[in-house]
Structure 1
């Protein structure tokens, strides 16, 4: 059993974990949940003796990790699957760990078979995929056949078959009476794997209860009611009757009704008394993800903002056209081509025969490039206009400079 009492960890003026107390009991898969930066990894490192707590203590079987005799035979952990020397083969990596802990070499081949890496046992780990690295990390955790196991994101990079395998492995280990502590951000997977949950936010304990109790405490169940789609008046009639009976009715987008405050038998009786036929009457409860989001919404440190696409371009004045070449616009350095075809690319200033669009320059400064003929002087006085800047007022009655092709014709 893992037990933390008043666990606190500070890094300078930052408190990563504060007064955290919990127990991880054997015989069950305990999920460890929390937003990014909530202190999960720091807590696991303190459990394994990799970080010293500022105050409080955490023990495994009544002893700190560093005082456990032959700790790798009692505790297995996967914290970072990439913590492997890339030049070593999978078998060599596990064999070195086994020799350090006095584990027989035959155990290495056993765990390679358990995690499915027996065919690549003699390949260097630097060529492993993310999922293969995860399997190698799990093999290292199982090497000593420990009674206590800690896994940090064990299904990261695994395919669906691998995720199912990890789920069944966790359940099988817990069924053998082992202590299994799993940290993950995949709520759907935790709902299928974990029996108990420990949830922290900003280093403090938010919940310590079973999965079922956690969902029930952080969500409200509702009944979904559906009447015949061809008779909308029945839906209105039932909605009125349910509201008068003390229920709270909300319409859903597909035409069904979401009812809270009334039990399903009562809803059925009201529909029968109102002579309303039902196509659906089903109970619904929030998922673990919904309950988790509701619990931790005040403890999230990293939130996304709205994608400010408009910030890439200054707003144009009212009535202004988008920066597209228009015949007769009269701005220096702009070429007035014929209207482009549907789906066509912007035209570049011609550099050869008139009437034929030239190839765009090698390094254009915007979607529409200024004339770049090597033998001709720059057009007008301005530089290549920035298509994302607000256009300057055009000079009054200033015609667009004509492209003189006489010299080029004479040259030919």
Structure 2
């Protein structure tokens, strides 16, 4: 199980994650959703010990990732499918990972077969397509047969057959009692794959519930009604409104009715002597519910969104995420300031000094920053370049 408690990550004045707490339980596929820049990747990096939280903590099976013995056998992750040496073959890449973790070499061929790359196992990964790179990254995550798995956009670049394969793989892994945490922007795929959802916006928790409950809490089911004549539509609208329903016209002439059950709508139409051509229930999709939940947490919005009908009213009682105190509402993710090591554990007084980080670069004029480095690194570059290319030539 993955457990995060009060996770906060700041890069100077920029806040990527703020006071985030959640649990990812075994035996289910947990989807991790949020707009671009909401802090999903930063959260996953903190889970894997790649980024040190400014405050709070996150554990896997009750232990921080860095203290897990032989972590690759307990946790598998796919964060960046391109993080592979292009000169290595798929088999050699996996073999090097296996040797570092004490995993038998026979396991390499097993996972290559699982992901369908056995035919290209001897080819260099730099010639792989995006989808093949994704498969290789998934193979690396499965290499140690871990109980906890994290995937960031695992279906990126895959064809429909590959997407179906990943979907079934996630369900199979969860069915075996493993903890499966999947980040994705494909709502239609999450609706078919995930059992539970964790949704964040601007680094804060927006929802932690099952897919069914998420859709129910963030959308309003409605009935679609069509009549053959405009006069009948007007009579029916008046009858439904008088009975307490809410009626909205659809672009094709149909009516969208909320607040009344289908049998009640049928009875009212019969009493008003209105013939019906259509009376059908409609449940919102995960995408529609997600758009309504996160519409207040989107930093980059097209001016055409309102015309496209994406700016729908929030459900009753729902409030957009509050603005983090003393932190700008734009630029929620930024690289660490120059000279800071984001992987080093912060000192006890680090949070108190965080506001001073942006002040240092402001004191030094911008033109002076690049002035000194070019004088020394310039002659050093030719000396290091040959050493980087010789191993490639040797291969």
Asked if Structure 1 and Structure 2 have the same fold, meaning a TM-score greater than 0.5 normalized by the shorter chain, the answer is yes
How is 1:121-136 mapped onto 2 (pairs within 5 angstroms)?
A: 121-136=121-136
1:270 aligned residue:
268
What is the distance in 1 between the residues matched to 2:161 and 2:127? 21
Tell me what 2:86 maps to: 86
Q: How far apart, CA to CA, are the structure 2 residues paired with 1:77 and 1:181?
A: 9
Gaps of 5+ in 2: 306-395
Confirm or deny that 1:104 pairs with 2:134: no
What does 1:130-209 correspond to in 2, within 5 Å?
130-209=130-209
Distance 1:93 1:5 in 2: 35
Q: Following TM superposition, by how much is the alpha carbon of 1:282 offset from its aligned partner in structure 2, in angstroms?
A: 1.1
- Using CA pairs below 8 Å that are at least 6 residues apart, which structure has the higher relative contact order? 2
Question: Whose Rg is larger?
Answer: 1
How far apart, CA to CA, are the structure 2 residues paired with 1:279 and 1:174?
44
- 1:88-147 deviation line (CA, Å, top 9, x unaligned): 000000000011111111110010010000000000000000000000000000001100
CA distance in 1, matches of 2:161, 2:122: 23
- 1:305, distance to aligned residue in structure 2 (A): 4.2
Structure 1's unaligned 5+ residue stretches are: 308-412
TM-score, normalised via structure 1 length = 0.73
RMSD: 1.2
**Structure 2 Cα separation of the partners of residues 77 and 162 of structure 1:** 18
Task: Tell me the CA shift for residue 239 of structure 1.
Answer: 1.6
For 2:256, the equivalent position in structure 1 comes to: 258
Alignment of 1:1-400 (within 5 A): 1-228=1-228, 231-305=229-303
Structure 1 residues 96-105 or 249-258, which shifts more? Answer: 249-258
Partner of 2:331: none
Deviation at 1:180, TM superposition (A): 0.3
Q: CA deviation at 1:245?
A: 1.1
Displaced runs of 4 or more, over 4 A = none
What's the offset of the Cα at 1:188?
A: 0.8
Write out per-residue CA displacement over residues 134-171 of structure 1, whole angstroms, 9 at most, x where no aligned residue. Answer: 00000000001100000000000000110011011001
Distance in 1 separating the partners of 2:254 and 2:52: 55
User: Paired residue for 1:329?
Assistant: none
What's the CA shift for 1:12? Answer: 1.1
Indicate the structure with greater helix content: 2
SS at 1:197 equivalent: strand
Q: CA deviation at 1:306?
A: 6.4
